[in-house]
Amino acid sequence: MSDLQYRAPAEFSEAAGILAEYGTDAKVLAGGTTLLLLMKQQLASPRVLVSLHRLPGLSAVTQDNDGLHLGAQTTLRDLEVSQIVARRFPSLRQTLAQVASVRIRNQATIGGNVAYGDPLMDLPATLMALDASVHLLSSRGGRTVHLTNFFVDHLTTVAQPDEIITGISVPFLPPRSGTVYLKYLARTAADYGTVGVAVRLSLEAAGDRVADVRIALAGVGPTTVRPLDVEAALRGQPADRAAFATVAAAVRSAVSPSSDSRGSAEYKRHMVEVFLRRALDKSRAEVRDDFR
């Protein structure tokens, strides 16, 4: 640890050059709440920390005709108190309020929250259910990856060692949609949840059938889980409790939780079924014509 270097570049080209030079021996430092924990657990041992704090434009929250763009350095607390987020994405604000403590949310950033592919994190599940995309930049250029395709395995993403997450884009919700994030917290608020369920439900014009649905699950697999078969089974079905209960039961076979101090694998399968059913019911009750 005494040989650890700290760099704080003021330009993207400089940051990209450092990452290209050191490869896997370098780690990007945003809020540090996840990285420092991984270092303490000896799951990460970088030679160089590359801070993003001096890079311009990474803390902005902006919107255009398509949706919201969240700079990677935006803190969770800044998003939580944002009026744009509250008005346009109520489930995102709801999720943020459930992450650890205000002290942690004042430090943690949205980029760092998705960067390490931690399947226990709350925010990636909600962002995935909201169809978010991740913007990456390196000396080779930029690219955008849908969050559903971003996570590969436990603590592993498609981001290359020389790439920097510059932001997250979240499209505006379709008409007649409702969103929710629910989690079961077995211990203190500072701990990870046992399971988390994010839902975005959209209804057909008549309001009685499911036009579209996005489901994302935390804590029940090596990555944040999006059960595509479960979503497909619900589209076109009546938006009622019977249909919701049927697909919630089917989610058991779509997850692969591990037994740990928060519960056994079978217990987590049961809880994700219960919480998915509740989340679908609640998202139906939260449906609005628009979120302007």
pLDDT tens digit sequence for 202-256: 999 999 999 999 999 999 999 999 999 999 999 999 999 999 999 999 999 999 9
| 34-43, 87-96, 156-165, 222-231: the lowest-pLDDT one | 34-43
Q: What is the pLDDT of residues 134-152, one digit of tens each?
A: 999 999 999 999 999 999 9
- Residue identified by tokens 């993403």 is 157
* Lookup: tokens for 84: 């744009």
How many angstroms separate the CA atoms of 71 and 76, rounded?
Answer: 11
Q: How many CB atoms lie within 10 A of CB 94?
A: 19
- Supply the pTM of this predicted model: 0.95
Asked whether residue 277 carries a pLDDT value surpassing 90, the answer given is yes
Query: 136 Cβ partners below 8 Å, 6+ apart?
Result: 142, 143, 144, 145, 159, 160, 163, 164, 165, 166
Reported as a pLDDT band with limits 50, 70 and 90, residue 290 is: confident
Percent residues over pLDDT 90 in the chain: 92
Reported as a pLDDT band with limits 50, 70 and 90, residue 168 is: very high
Q: What was the pLDDT predicted at 30?
A: 92
Q: What is the pLDDT of residues 56-97, one digit of tens each?
A: 999 999 999 999 999 999 999 999 999 999 999 999 999 999
H or E element at residue 210: strand 210-218
Q: What was the pLDDT predicted at 2?
A: 57
Q: What was the pLDDT predicted at 191?
A: 80
* Lookup: tokens for 289: 């014509």
Q: What was the pLDDT predicted at 11?
A: 95
Asked whether residue 190 carries a pLDDT value surpassing 80, the answer given is no
Encode burial over 16-26: b for 16+ CB neighbours within 10 A, e otherwise.
bebbbebeeeb
How many whole angstroms from its chain centre is CA 97? 14
How many angstroms separate the CA atoms of 254 and 151, rounded?
Answer: 16
